[in-house]
Amino acid sequence: MSQEKKPITHRSDVGDDEKNPHGPKSDSRRNFVKKGAMAFMAGGILPAFSAKSYANIIGANETINVSVMGVNSRGNALAQNFASQKNSKVIHVCDVDSRAITKCIAALKERQNGKVESFTDFRKSLESKDVDALVIAAPDHWHAPASLIALETGKHVYVEKPVSHNPHEGEILVEAAKKYGKVVQMGNQRRSWPNVIEAIQALKDGVIGRVYYGKGWYTNNRGPIGVGKEVAVPEWLDWDLWQGPAPRKEYKDNIVHYDWHWRWHWGTGEALNNGTHMVDLLRWGMEADYPTKVSSNGGRYRYDDDWETPDTQIINLDFDGEKTMSWEGRSCNGKPIEGTSVGVVFYGENGSLLIPSGNSYTQFDLKGEVVKEVKNTEVIDALNRSNPAEKLDALHIQNMFDAIKNGGTLHSDVDSGHKSTLLVQLGNISQRVGRSLDIDPKDGHIIKDKDAQKLWSREYEKGWEMKL
């Protein structure tokens, strides 16, 4: 590995019982899967078709063994989802919080049979030849380093958004996926939701004419996080390993497990926490890659506490071809836009198209009258931190499995994931330097701004530097 090895602790006392270069393609298999997906979209709705039923369609007799890293909240939900797939089994769970391991293993007993091994350090899990893929739901500063380590040990990767903490890490992962020839799927699950796929295809087919503006948003009513106090590290937490690649800081009582999101040292703010999903939809529907100009306005306005990233933010991105997109984040005022807490609207020459929080969409004419409405049949709670749409997310998991076993095309591969992540990272960089940025549309790099370019990467704890 490129990373220097740290001491590894093994826990076995908790457990009981866009184009894909990965391998040959199977046209007959892919056509069958495509027909299955079309069956989902018949009539424009998602029928009562469970994730377990869908799991039976693709390679049900071949089991993919999974290790899950970070199982406190979202990782626990992902572990249960992977365990529910007929062609998958969770054999390892890894977390620096011993309580999270106990809770996750108990939940897995309801989903699958057999013993699950547990590890404090995920690298010990990766030493096992039985592990086929690593699922990463640890904090943002771990996403890219853990993905790289997994690739170096020959494992496939499912990494929650964002794909990286900073742009340099994303570029490294794109190259690493090519070098090691493994599947890397980012958790932009909406890329696999049937009605969302249908909506994006409708845009590309020109149902609202040329699309020139897209707007995305996220609204919530988050409370204050207070001013953290330096206290003793809890006995259930390996604080050194929690920090991992990030330079060491003293433990405070308002960081673990969620409010690290709002600290630049480990987190990436609401823009990458939730904005990544919506900006990815905008980039997908508008067929845009790298911008020419990026700006961000906002700040931490609502409370006086340790929260560093903006709680109110508007990111604007201009692209070649007369295209503009924006993302609005309001962490502390949850008034919905277009009747939904999260969503996107595409504006074109002949109308607009709304994709709200769920697996649905509505097409409007220029007067705002409804032309077509495709409804969602699954209950989705966009504000649920850990598991807003389990059955729909299973489709994203199965898409990854199809890529691993059959060479199928990933819906959110690392290249696509990096591009979408980069857009909101550039917005955060603009926010931090306090001015708009000129961007090279060929590769997304910042032009002639030394202060901004310093934020392209980060400092690492010695021995944890990301190298390829």
pLDDT in tens, 3-38: 444 434 333 333 333 334 344 333 333 343 333 343
Residue 358 to residues 45, 191, 320, 375: CA-CA distances in angstroms? 11, 12, 30, 9
Phi (first) and psi of residue 179, to 5 degrees: -65, -45
What's the whole-model pTM score?
0.86
Q: How does DSSP assign 264-310, residue by residue?
A: TTT--HHHHHTHHHHHHHHHHHHT--S-SEEEEEEE--S--SS--S-
Q: Distance between CA atoms of 436 and 433, rounded to whole angstroms?
A: 8
What is the per-residue pLDDT for 62?
83
Strand bridging mode 323-330 / 342-348: unpaired
Contact between 374 and 44 (Cβ < 8 Å): yes
Which pLDDT belongs to residue 266? 98
Name the strand (E) or helix (H) holding 220. none
pLDDT at 441 exceeding the cut of 50: yes
- Tell me which residue of 106, 129, 255 sits closest to 118, measured CA to CA: 106
The answer to whether residues 307 and 313 touch, using CB atoms and an 8 Å cutoff, is no
Residue 281's nearest CA partner among 208, 349, 215, 218 is: 215
Place of tokens 């609204």: 219
- pLDDT tens for residues 37-72? 433 333 333 333 344 443 344 334 589 999 999 999
184 and 151 in contact (C-beta within 8 Å)? Answer: yes
pLDDT of the residue at 77:
95
Higher pLDDT, 285 or 13: 285
On the question of pLDDT at 291 being above 70, the answer is yes
Domains annotated for the chain, with CATH where assigned, are 10-191 (3.40.50.720), 194-381+414-456 (3.30.360.10)
